[in-house]
A and B are shown apart, each in its own frame.
Chain A
């Protein structure tokens, strides 16, 4: 079964009088893997439930292959879903769980057995077919839930945080398994997650939601390298914040000197990967800068290379999360987190060095 496209237009969804989703417009292409990413309460699960039919929208359309399904019940939408809690039927065996959707579609016992056997082999569950669900591990249950969803050959696969209950090691391998199965079968997949890395690794495109609005839609590279708003930048890990005064002329930004910040001249990015500043502010003057702890590095002698923003500071704390040291640096009363492979001691004077390509600038109000 090849996936189909989904068009969401002006979708408004709410519970009683509280509106959760506001005028959502989104187009999901056939066979595309889209991740809905956002913090708790942003509306990502509500959007998935609207797609699946468990919540009826207040207004707007959800078109699947051109026809509006917004008011149809779940059983008439021909979608498959993997639930966060897996939602397996505990009184059934693995084989019965995987084959139930096929039974509902009126397939013969032979056809069901054939299809279920094929899927159990594909998912590494061939030896567990006759086991009851409560006797399976978390990873095995996850595979059964996936098998049950894949068995029915629905063109659309909905994934509601299916990996959040798994331990870290299994979660990493399952990401790749789900992604490769989706690509092999050509399904259209919509995946809800609050895990940024999971969304980046699995999805063709990421939809970042904030307070019921779409904050940004783009490929993992786009949302990571060119976050369009202060919220997206923070959500994508650019948690260091600095207030700057800038002038802009001919594709170059001039940063004024201020307490602990050296004057610098930085190029503005025209396309991803050209090493320029991600300029999203509407006007020069007072802007808000953001950068990731991994995008900056520390210098001990204060010799700052060209095209870098430099902040003088002092090490106040350090830790070792693995691979690099993580430093807390105090600079002009602000605290910054910086990753650096070199060893510094608490109290050392250092210069935070942020390359133009690692800096994102937004209007103060954004």
Chain B
């Protein structure tokens, strides 16, 4: 026994040496900047006494933007969830093999397009004289005078949904494909419609994966700068734009970091709900 513990020493050192580069990278690139930004949010750029003046200022200047960000990201998350379940549900339960194959081929495309390109695409698509309105007016669905620009909060939501739905759908479709297929068959033989099977039998079985996908999307959307900057460069706007503005125009890292910590808190609340739910499920 003692011989074994003797031999563990060098092995342990080797293991520490192996992970050391990775740990150092995380330390320098994430832990230190994160810690510094937290400290800086509660002080004057890391110096002087502790105070909450940066937060007071952030709320005073940007309370509308905070609300705007929460509404935009929450609304987008809900729509992404609905669309991802619909797409994955059709891929799992759809009987038209051609339609399923086409959808499977199409839905992943936005995954490979960066946010900034998506935003640019949407600018040309959603503008007053953009592609969408052109299609709607030329097909007679709306009058040319009724055409309006969607380059406001709606544009941000549409871009986020367009960009993030494939990611969540990919995760959810994978989870749906791995559930016991006979649980779906059982629903059918007892008389359940496709919609009921999806909502009552399939989604509850993949709820954890759906939650993970939505939380990851929520976090990603909270941190995207290019989309609100390109689609909605007006007030109110999202917190990422405000942070960039505070730093680039005023060099005000204190308020920018205070806004950043607020973003962390929004994510933290969602993560807390998720962890609580998953612990409850495990305990059941």
B-chain residues with CB within 8 Å of residue A84 when the two chains form the complex: 182
> Given A89-B201, A89-B205, A104-B196, does the pair A74, B182 have CB atoms closer than 8 Å?
no
- Report if A230 contacts B (CB, 8 A): no
Chain A positions 72-123 with a Cβ under 8 Å from a chain B Cβ = 73-81, 83-85, 87-91, 100-101, 104-105
B-chain residues with CB within 8 Å of residue A81 when the two chains form the complex: 185-186, 189
Closest to A90 in B: B205
Cβ-defined contact, B183 with A87, below 8 A? yes
Closest to A104 in B: B191
- Report if B9 contacts A (CB, 8 A): no
> Given A89-B201, A91-B204, A132-B284, does the pair A83, B182 have CB atoms closer than 8 Å?
yes
Interface of B is mostly: helix
B-chain residues with CB within 8 Å of residue A89 when the two chains form the complex: 183, 186-187, 201, 204-205
Closest to B207 in A: A91
Closest to B197 in A: A75
Cβ-defined contact, A100 with B190, below 8 A? yes
Chain B positions 164-208 with a Cβ under 8 Å from a chain A Cβ = 180, 182-183, 185-193, 196, 200-201, 204-205, 207
Cβ-defined contact, A75 with B191, below 8 A? yes
- Report if A52 contacts B (CB, 8 A): yes
Map CB proximity to B onto A24-54 as digits: 1 under 8 Å, 0 otherwise.
0000000000000000000000000000111
B-chain residues with CB within 8 Å of residue A91 when the two chains form the complex: 204-205, 207
Smallest CB–CB gap between A6 and chain B, Å?
15
Cβ-defined contact, B205 with A87, below 8 A? no
B-chain residues with CB within 8 Å of residue A148 when the two chains form the complex: 186, 190
- The contact of A87 among B182, B193, B204, by CB within 8 Å, is B182
Interface size on B, residues (CB 8 A): 19
Smallest CB–CB gap between B279 and chain A, Å?
15
B-chain residues with CB within 8 Å of residue A90 when the two chains form the complex: 183, 205
- The contact of B185 among A54, A76, A100, A152, by CB within 8 Å, is A54
A-chain residues with CB within 8 Å of residue B185 when the two chains form the complex: 54, 74, 81, 83, 87
Q: What are the nearest 3 A-B pairs in CB distance? A: A87-B182, A101-B190, A87-B186
Interface residues of B (CB under 8 A from A): 180, 182-183, 185-193, 196, 200-201, 204-205, 207, 284
User: 18 more A-B contacts (CB under 8 A) besides A91-B204, A100-B187?
Assistant: A53-B189, A73-B188, A75-B189, A78-B191, A81-B185, A81-B186, A81-B189, A83-B185, A83-B186, A87-B182, A88-B186, A89-B204, A89-B205, A90-B183, A90-B205, A100-B192, A101-B190, A148-B190
**Can you name 29 A-B pairs with beta carbons within 8 Å?**
A52-B189, A53-B188, A54-B188, A73-B188, A74-B185, A74-B188, A74-B189, A75-B192, A75-B193, A76-B191, A77-B189, A78-B191, A80-B190, A81-B185, A81-B186, A83-B186, A87-B185, A88-B186, A89-B183, A89-B204, A89-B205, A90-B183, A100-B187, A100-B190, A100-B192, A101-B190, A148-B186, A152-B190, A152-B191
